[in-house]
Structure 1
Amino acid sequence: MKWNLRKTAMAILITVMTVTTVMTVTTVTAAENVPSPKETYRIVALGDSITVGYEPGMTGKSVPYGYVDRLYEQALFHKRAELANYAIMGLQTPGLINLLQGAADGKPLKAADLQDFSSLPDGVPQQADSVALKTQQIATDLAKANLVVMTIGGNDFGDFIKTMLKQSTEDAKKYVQDNFDSLMNKYTTNLDKMIRQLHVLAPNAQIILADQYLPLPTGHALYADLSAAVKKLSGRLTEFTDGLSKEGIPVTIAPVSTKFVNNETNYTYIALFDGNDNHPKQAGYEAIAQTFAELIWKQYLKPAPRAADVPLSIVINGKEPPNKPTTVKNTTFLALTDVASAVGANLKWIQKTKTAVFSKDGREVIITVGAKTIIVNGVTQPLDTPAYFQQVGKIQKTYVPLAVISTGLNYQVIFSKKLMTAFINS
């Protein structure tokens, strides 16, 4: 289980984050098998440090790459998407209930209004403050959300684990047997209140909550006992969410714990019992993202392998074009016909002037090979890097700046530095 937060002097001050750098965020029309015009898949993330994407060594300037960031990439493989991450380091279930109540009331809060963060490392209370102030925006984002994802509960078991660790192995085993059920019942009672509250705020959202993984090596004396507790909790959560689903509340448990079994050393920092850290490694965060993605889309996607001379991948409406992109002066270019086909635009080629005319749903972009201007809906705009000819096998193809055309046609362009992939969605 992801139990208690790392108690070192590691400051972390992370607010709403995404892994991506936004190149262009716009609105556009649909092609076949893609969203209808202006449709955006909106994800809201809530919860604790796992949803933050925390790893040992992070500072306030670190950019997390956790399961939420990967899940956002998965959404971009399917359609245009937006992400708002309101996770808080060290958050417990009652703290999340208080945050949601603040959102319901439209009342900005402070960290102390959520829970007591005073025992946590420097930076954590400030990060909690920064999120608690955003309750009105949280309410707005939840009202529009299609998906809410969460990890919450590990910190609820913190005192239980601390007490257990002070005892001998046999006493600790008995302590688990005697006390785990009551703590689990308290946790699920809080969850019930929290999820009902969340459903009111996000009435159109699918809600997915992760169960708890166990960051403990298989050879540890308490592994079997705590594994049994993890399994019992997972079963209880499934029964609990099944009951809510029957009431019309669309909530599902992501069985993260099953992917961590026998992978604890590879997936976590596995330092539960020495007071250091129990967060996922990058492999663990990917396993969590895979679990969520398989529930939502039945698959976990990655860009196709790139040749050494290909600088980045391009995914347009979920597909990678046949001709690989090139980069000139930090501008990404793609074959003209690939662009037209991928974005579903009409294409007219004027041979005499070497001019391409893209049009779709009343929007028009005109670009001429070698020209330092582009015409977007009748307005001439400067162009730093002109279109050019490039030989592809025996065929000479016209390469055009992808971001400029996508912007002109009002498409969403998101760049993931971790994947070195540009997602273009209508």
Structure 2
Amino acid sequence: MVTTGLYAPRTAGLAVVGIPVAFEGPQGLPASWMGNLSASMGYDGTEPFVPGYDENDVFLEMVKTSTRGSIIDQTGIVRDISAELGPISTGNITFQTGVQYNGIVTFKWDAGCENANDEILYSFGYSQDGYKYVNFTFPDGAKNSTMNMWGGVMPVCFLWSNATAKNARGFPIGGTTYLAMESMTGSSMLTTLPSQSENPDVVYNNGTRISRVKCTPKLSWQVSLCVFDGRIMINCTKTDGNSVPALDTVGLDALEGYLTAILWSMARETDIALGRALLSTTVSPGKYQWDGLFGLIAQSLASVSTAGYFGTVTVETMGEPLRHVYITRMHPLIFGVILLTLVATMSLVHIILSRLQHSPFRRITFLTIANAVRGSWWDRELRGGCVLDEALLTEKHSAEVMFGVDAENLGNIGLAPNVYGVHETIELRVMR
């Protein structure tokens, strides 16, 4: 009827979360001092805003550093990233498992990666010393070759975009990014890739693995009500957003472009630590691993933008962390309580009625039990004295008795001065 289990009380409360809010900095200071998300991207108040993704883009560097650390730690390539992302616990802002948070910013992303074997062509070539290289031809006819690129610290990966607009550093703004890559390591390193049958966008030809993929990443944001499961936000539903202050919508709307910009920025840098991690975990990635890489970038975008760097707010919460409790089955409990209550009630009513009718009461003692098993001798001896109280009964009557078959009345088993043993009497009756 009683077991143990987990239970979370529906307790209302408040919590501080990180949200990109719109606020103004001190007068006379440049926009970069405001602390807004959009200001850290280089927004100067002029609409429409398109980030420059240049060296002065503080947010770009923050997200790139977060992504780089996760790749080196191998947390983003080997683990699937949820399609819906929200804030995560940090050193300053923590969330409680099982609690519902109302009014946080969440993000939905999609890498949009697919096979590009029909759009990116490749061919093999050989140098004078016998070194084999690969030539890639992109949809616009642009050619790239792995010749003279062996021994680099980064994987040999070529990027091309069909975007019509680019920034000063050559990063595409929007569009689809085409990725062509040749494996630089042997098959013994391919520990995180699906088999060839499950990964058709990776071609094994002439002892070399060739990967050709195109990706059109998407990212959107909304104000949501979510539950924290101990690692990420889950079961998110969109809310009206009236419970939060004015958001930095300019910065939030610009986040989508960083999915592509981060990838291009990392690909153009010479980073020994990052390159070594990529060489061992993204040997020749197809759609499977490019999805994971874009998911890792999306996770970094979500965590950095909601870590509290660009504003915090107080939101409503519901619930508490799970706790161990005792659980009672109500139907058996109700039935048991009714039975106990009924017995107690009937006993009490019986006692009251007996008192009203002046019925005698006697404690359960030796005398009351003896009277219940009395015989002819007992009746003659007491002559109705059994109704006396115990003190008077003891004073008027005194006798040594035993329990057994009454010697004067063999048909009675009870207390008497002279008795036969029960077994002995039975044996005598059998003999007769």
Under TM normalisation by the shorter chain, which class is it?
under 0.3
TM-score normalized by the length of structure 2: 0.24
TM-score (norm. length: structure 1): 0.24
Give the helix-richer structure, 1 or 2: 1
Q: Which has the higher contact order (CA 8 A, sep 6+)?
A: 2
